[in-house]
Amino acid sequence: MGLLDGKKILVTGVLTEDSIAFAVARLAQLEGAELLLTGADRGMSLTERMARRLPRPTDVLELDVTNPEHPRIVAAAIAERFGRLDGILHSIGYAPDPCIGRGMLEAGWPDVATAVEISAYSLKVLASAFLPLLEAADGASIVGLDFDSTVAWPGYDWMGVAKAAFESLTRYLARDLGPKAIRVNLVAAGPIRTVAARAIPGFEHFEEVWADRAPLGWDVIRDREAVAKACVALLSDWFPMTTGEIIHVDGGCHAVGA
């Protein structure tokens, strides 16, 4: 019996086989879940390709979180297909070029607003649009992918600010959705070599430092599976009284000093 037997799960952000979202989708299927994926814009074709590489090929729905119509359309499609949602993986993030690798003084508000809207506010968009589907489940779970924002990271800049908003929003959504039996948690992963990570100037510095500091060690390729396991566990019924939490899957790096 799998951890997610009979669960209906929506996974966002699958772009390549290197992505954490793909690892979560793959493991979720192996643990018994029925999946739907979402993609957006130029990434749709990539998501559709990855959907065919899962253990059981699945459908992809178009979901641009900045388009007010898309969440409603996707919610209607899921209602027709599944009738409910037991879980959502939020793996959505983007920041325009001026927001990453250039310090904090260059980016203007339009670029910062884009980063915050897509990387943080989108969690609220999903929670609002899919609320009736989540309420129809017997206890639902929203899990977001995070990168620890308690310190300032080299090159991360305004994306770090967006992640701080993301973490705060998680706590407030946990407060508001808890009475509806919906849990909201984050998994703060160590650096994983993905398309998004390669967009961060100096990412290789993260790799070197993490491997040295993490008490359990850290592999920027293999340890995406450890992150996926944490996400699947949170999507399952094994954390029934945990919400508003940030689970670190980073080899313990967050817990030690230099």
pLDDT reading at 4 higher than 80? yes
d(CA 195, CA 138): 35
pTM summary value = 0.96
Q: Would you state the pLDDT for residue 197?
A: 65
Supply the angle between the helices 122-129 and 157-177 in degrees, to the nearest 10. 30
* pLDDT greater than 90 at residue 137: yes
Q: Each residue of 203-254: pLDDT tens digit?
A: 677 777 888 899 999 998 889 999 999 999 999 999 999 999 999 999 999 9
Is residue 198 pLDDT above 70, yes or no? no
What whole-number distance in Å separates Cα of residue 195 and Cα of residue 240?
Answer: 33
Q: What is the arithmetic mean of pLDDT over 89-102?
A: 96
Whether the pLDDT of residue 36 is over 80: the answer is yes
For 168, residues 6+ apart whose C-beta sits below 8 A from its C-beta are: none
Q: What would the 3-class secondary structure string for 214-232 be? A: CCCCCCCCCCHHHHHHHHH
Active site residue 94: no
8 classed as catalytic: no
- The residue with tokens 């019924």 is 237
Catalytic residue among 163, 172, 180, 229: 163
Query: For 40-139, where are the E strands, in sequence order?
Result: 60-62, 87-90
C-beta of residue 188 within 8 angstroms of C-beta of residue 250: yes
Catalytic hit among 156, 172, 180, 229: 156
CATH code for the part of the protein at 8-251: 3.40.50.720
